[in-house]
Structure 1
Amino acid sequence: MDIEGFVRQAIKHDSEESVRENLTQKIMEYKDIDSNQALKMASAVIEEVKHTLEIESHPDDFLRELIEYPRADVAMGQIGVGSRGAGDFFVHRKIAEIVSSSHTNAFITPEAQDDGGVVKKSVNSNDIYVTTAVDGIHSRLSEYPFLGGFHVARAALRDVCVMGADPVAVISDLHLADDGDVGKLFDFTAGVCAVSELVNVPLVAGSTLRVGGDMVLGDRLVSAVGAIGISEYPPTARKRAEVGDVILLTEGSGGGTITTTAIYHGMFDVVNETMDISFIKASEAIFNAGLLPKVHAMTDVTNGGLRGDAHEISNTTGLGLTFYDDKIRAVINPKVLEMLEKLDIDPLGVSVDSLMIIAPKNVAEEVKKVISSVNVGITEIGFVDGTGKAKLVKNGVEEELKPLFREAAYTKIKKIVGDTTPEDFELMKQKVEKAALDSIAKKDNVVRSIKEK
C-alpha cells in the first residue's frame, strides 16, 4: 500500500483527523506496532504531504516547473500500459519521441521499437556494436522471486541475442517493499544467477532498494534486469527485413507470462516447461555458425504475442508479413498450447518466447540446420511481402493480424478488465500526445536554463 498516495488523495476530500485515523489503522494492518507508534507514523506522513502541496503556490516558476509533471489525465490501466496492446505500443512510441528529442546519437534508437538499443563505436579502426536491453519482472511473480528472476534475466538476454549481439554481462535492479522478507532478494538473485550460470554470462552490477522507501507498506517485489552484448556486425534489426524473405519460428515454451498463467490457474506442471534456455541456445547456434551477417532480422515473440510483433515489424518496415496459423501452433510447446486452448487464451496474443528469424530463403535453410543441431525445434511459418499489412492464413482463409487493445487475457482478473478498445481511445491518445510534447518542452527548458547558468 502506498501510504503517501493514500494521503494525497484522501486529504483532498476528508478532514485531516479522519485521514490520520484511517491511515493509522491501515499501518497497523501491515506492521506489528502499537497504536501510538502507528499514529506517529501517520502524522509524520500527513505533515510531509502537506508541505509538498505548498509548492503549488511557490513564487519560483522554475522550481514549480521542476516539481510538477505534465498531466495527461489518462491512467496507466486505462490506456493499457504494460498490457502489450495498441495502447501500450502508442505510449512507448511517445516515450521514444522524448528520447529522440535529446538529439544524442545511437545506431538503433527506441524509435525503432526494437528489442534492444545499439550504439556504434570505433575501436582501433574497427567498428564495434554495443547492444543493451532491459526487462522488468512479471508483476504477478512477486511471490515467486526465483521464477521472476529466472525469466526476467532470460528475457533481457534474449533481447540482446535477437539484435545479433554476443551477451557479455548482466545487471540487476531490485526493489522490495518495506515489509518484504530479505529472503526474497536472495531468491530473486539466485534466479538471475541460474540463467547467468547456464549461459556463462556474469551478473556484474546492480542496485537494491526499497519500493517507495518508508511510504509503501507490504512485500511487493519489483525489479529489472539488463543485459549488454557486443558484435562486430550491424544488428539484425527489424528494419532490415526484405520482400521475399522467409519467416522462421523456434519452439516456444513461454517465460514469465506462461508461468503466471500456469500458477494462477493451478496448472503447475506447465511451469516446468518454461525452465529452459533453448532460445539462447538457438541464438548462439546462429552466432557461432557465422550466419548473423546473412540474417535480415530477429525478434522474440513476447510483447503482445505474434500479433504485437507482426504489427510492430510491419509498422516499422512498411512491409507485409503473411503467417500460417497451423505452422505457428506446431512450434508452441504442446503442454503450453494445451493450457492456452483449455483456458481460451489466444496463443497468438501472448508471449510464448519463441525466436522469430527473417532471412532470405537459402539462408533460412542454413539457419534451420544449425538450430536443429542444438536440439531446438524450428519451422517455416510465413514470408515477407510488399502489402504493408500483417496477415494470418487460418483454415485457408486470410485475415489481417492486428494487435488487440491489450494482450490476450491470461489471468481471470485480465479477463474481467477485457481487451476491447475503449470508445474514447482516440481522445486518450490526444491527451497522452500533449503530455509527451509538454515533457519535451519541459526538458528543453531545463537544459537551456542549466546551460545558461
Structure 2
Amino acid sequence: MDIEEFVKTNYRNKKNKDEIIEKLASIIQYYKNIPQEQSELLSKTVYDEVLTTENLNQENLDNLLQFPKTNIGMGEFGVGSRGQGDFYVHSKIAEIIKNTPIESIVNPTAQDDGGVVKVDDTYYVTTAIDGIHSRLSDYPFLAGFHTARATLRDVCVMGANPVALISDIHLADDGDIGKLLDYTAGICAVSELTKVPLVSGSTLRVGGDMVLGDRLVGAVGAVGSSNTTPKARSEAKEDDIIIMTEGSGGGTITTTAIYNNYPDVIKETLNVQFVKASQLLNNYEKQENIHAMTDITNGGINGDANEINKTTGLGIHLYLENIRKLINSNVYNMLDELDIDPLGVSVDSLMLIVSKESVEDIINLLENNSIKADIIGHMTDTGKTYIEDENGNTIQLTPKFREAAYTPIKKVIESINESNFDEDKKIIDKATQEAIDKKDNLVKWIKNRYE
C-alpha cells in the first residue's frame, strides 16, 4: 500500500483534508499494531509532506522534477508482460541509450538481454540484470534462485563465462527480515551450483516509510568475461540452423505452478542445465560456427523470434512438433491442461543459431552431457517467422500484445484491459523525445558550468 500515492491522488482530486487524514490513519492501523493517536500522527505527517512537495517552488528548476506524462499505465500498455507493448517500450528505452554517445559492443538497441563492452583488443566484459518475478514475493528462495539463474543465462548466451553475481533487494516496511535471508540463500544455491560467487549487493525498503505491506522486489545482476565475439542475435545468418535445448521453465513456470495448484511442477524448474549447456558451448572449439545464442524467455519463442526478425531483418521457419518435444513433459502437460500457449511463455530453453556444418557436433556435445537438444528450425530471407505443424501446415507466428496469460488474474486482465496501440505509441514516442531532450539539456548545462 503506497500511502504517499494515496494522499497525492486524493489531494489532487480535491478531497477534504480531514477525510484524507482519517482514512489514511485507518489504513495505517490496518497494517501497524500501534495506538490510534500514533496512526493519526503518521497520517497527518504524510499529508504535510505531500502538501510540501505539491507546492514546491520549481521556478528555477525547469522540468528537473517533472517527467513526461503519457497517462498510459504500465499494465494498460502491457509493460512487463512480454508482448508487443513491452517490446515497444523497451525499444524506446533503447532509443534513449542510442542517443547517448558512449560506445559499447552490444547494448539494448540490439534487444539482447546482456550488454557487452570491449576492454582491449581481445577482452570483452558482459553484464546482465534480471528482476524477480513479481508473483514470487511470498516465495523469496524461489525468487532468488530463478532470478540468479536468469541473469547468468543472459551472460552465458552472449558467449561469456560468468565470474560474479550481484544482488539488489527491496522489502516493504512490514516485510519479515527472514525474506531477505531466504532470498539470498536462493541466489547462493545457484552460486554454489555454478561456482559463480555472489560478491556485492544492496538492501533497502520499498518506498521507505511510504509503502506499507510486505511486498518484495529486487534484482540479480551478473558479470562475465570472454575473448570471443559476442553471440548476439544480430549475428544470425540466412540458412543457419536453429537448435533448442530442453526447457523446464524458471520463474514464470514456477509462478504458473503455484497459482494454478501444480506444486509438483515446481521442482522441475530447479536445475542449472541451461548454464551448464552454455558453458559447454562457450568452450566449443569451432566458436565461429555458433553465430548467435538466446534464451527462450521474453514472451516465449513467439516473442524471441519476433525480436530476432526485427534485429536481423531475416526470417525464421520453425517446426512445432520438435519444439513441443523439447519442453519438459510435466511442464508441457500443465500448460496444455491450463490452455496456456507453450509458444507464448518463458520455458527457459537455450536457442542456438549455428552454421550447418556444426549442427551434428553441437547436438552430440550437448546430448553426451545429458542435455537434450534438437533442430527446431532454420533462418530464411522472409523477415517473418513461420511455424509448421506435424501435418505440414504452416502459419505466420505473430507477437501478441501480452505473453500467454498463465495465472488466473492474468486471464481476467487480458479480457478487460484494452489499448489503442497505435495512438499510445505516438504518445510514448513524444515522451521519449522529451526525456532525450531533458538529458541533452542537463548534460549541456553541467558541461558549460564545470568544464
* TM class, shorter-length: over 0.9
Residue 121 of structure 1: CA displacement?
1.3
**2:318–2:377 Cα contact (<8 Å) kept:** yes
Deviation, structure 1 residue 292: 3.1
Letter in structure 2 aligned against 1:80: G
Structure 2 residue 4 is matched with structure 1 residue 4 = yes
2:22 aligns to what?
Answer: 21
Residues 12 and 342 of structure 1, relative CA distance in 2, 3 Å threshold = same
Task: Map 1:327-406 to 2 at 5 A.
Answer: 327-394=322-389, 395-406=391-402
**Maintained 8 Å contact 1:408/1:419:** no
From 161, 169, 176, the counterpart of 1:181: 176
Could you say which residue in structure 2 is the equivalent of 1:436? 432
Of the candidates 109, 113, 116, which is equivalent to residue 115 of structure 1? 113
Partner of 2:194: 199
Alignment match, 1:93: 91
Alignment of 1:204-283 (within 5 A): 204-283=199-278
Post-superposition Cα deviations, 1:176-207, rounded to whole Å, max 9, x if no partner, equal 00000000000000000000000000001100
Which residue does the alignment assign to 2:48?
Answer: 47
CA displacement at 1:100 relative to structure 2 = 1.3
Offset at 1:36?
0.5
| In structure 2, C-alpha distance between the alignment counterparts of 1:376 and 1:59, rounded to whole Å | 62
Aligned runs of 1:62-81 on 2, under 5 Å?
63-81=61-79
| Identity among equivalent pairs (%) | 53
The answer (yes or no) to whether the contact 1:405–1:421 under 8 Å persists in 2 is no
Tell me, in whole angstroms, the C-alpha distance in 1 between the residues paired with 2:357 and 2:415: 40
Corresponding residue of 1:445: 441
Q: Distance in 1 between matches of 2:321 and 2:379?
A: 18
2:307 is equivalent to residue 312 of structure 1: yes
- What does the per-residue CA deviation read over 1:286-308, in whole Å, with 9 as the maximum and x for residues that have no partner? 12233433200000000000000
Contact kept? 1:409, 1:419, Cα under 8 Å: no
Question: What do residues 290-343 of structure 1 show as CA deviations (whole Å, max 9, x unaligned)?
Answer: 343320000000000000000000110000000011000000000000000000
Residue 423 to residue 72, structure 1, CA distance change in 2 (3 Å) = closer
With over 3 angstroms needed to count, the CA separation of the structure-2 counterparts of 1:120 and 1:251, relative to structure 1, is same
SS in 1 for 2:410: helix
Compare 440-449 and 81-90 and name the one that shifted more.
440-449
Match of 2:409 in 1: 413
Give the number of equivalent residue pairs.
447
Contact 2:165 2:221 (C-alpha < 8 Å) held by counterparts:
yes
Return the alpha-carbon distance in structure 1 between the equivalents of residues 436 and 226 of structure 2.
Answer: 33
- 1:274 shift after superposition: 0.2
Counterpart secondary structure, 1:66? coil
In structure 2, the gaps of 5 or more residues are: none
Q: Which moved more, 1:328-337 or 1:8-17?
A: 8-17
Q: Which residue does the alignment assign to 1:159?
A: 154
Task: Check whether the contact 1:405–1:419 (CA below 8 A) recurs between aligned residues.
Answer: no
Q: What CA distance in whole angstroms lies between the structure 1 residues aligned with 2:50 and 2:239?
A: 60
Q: Per the alignment, in what secondary structure is the counterpart of residue 415 of structure 1?
A: helix
Question: Alpha-carbon deviation of 1:254?
Answer: 0.1
Uncovered stretches (5+) of structure 1, i.e. residues with no partner: none
Aligned equivalent of 2:82: 84
Check the 8 A contact 2:76/2:417 in 1, yes or no: no
- The Cα offsets for residues 251-276 of structure 1, whole Å up to 9 and x where unpaired, read as 00000000000001111000000000
Q: Is the 1:332–1:352 contact (alpha carbons within 8 Å) kept by the matching residues of 2?
A: yes
Indicate if the aligned counterparts of 2:172 and 2:212 stay in contact, CA closer than 8 A. Answer: yes
List per-residue Cα deviations over 1:37-69 (Å, max 9, x = no partner): 0011111111000111113x5321xx1411011
State the alpha-carbon separation in 2 of the partners of residues 418 and 351 from structure 1.
18
For 1:433 and 1:295, how far apart are their aligned partners in 2? Answer: 36
- The verdict on how the C-alpha distance between 1:267 and 1:426 changes in structure 2, with shifts beyond 3 A counting, is same
Amino acid paired to 1:362: E
One-letter amino acid of the counterpart of residue 113, structure 1: Q
Q: Aligned partners of 1:211, 1:89: CA distance in 2, in Å? A: 26
Aligned counterpart, 1:288:
283
> Letter of the aligned partner of 2:25 in structure 1?
T
User: Post-superposition shift, 1:12?
Assistant: 1.9
Cα distance in 1, alignment partners of residues 388 and 359 from structure 2: 21
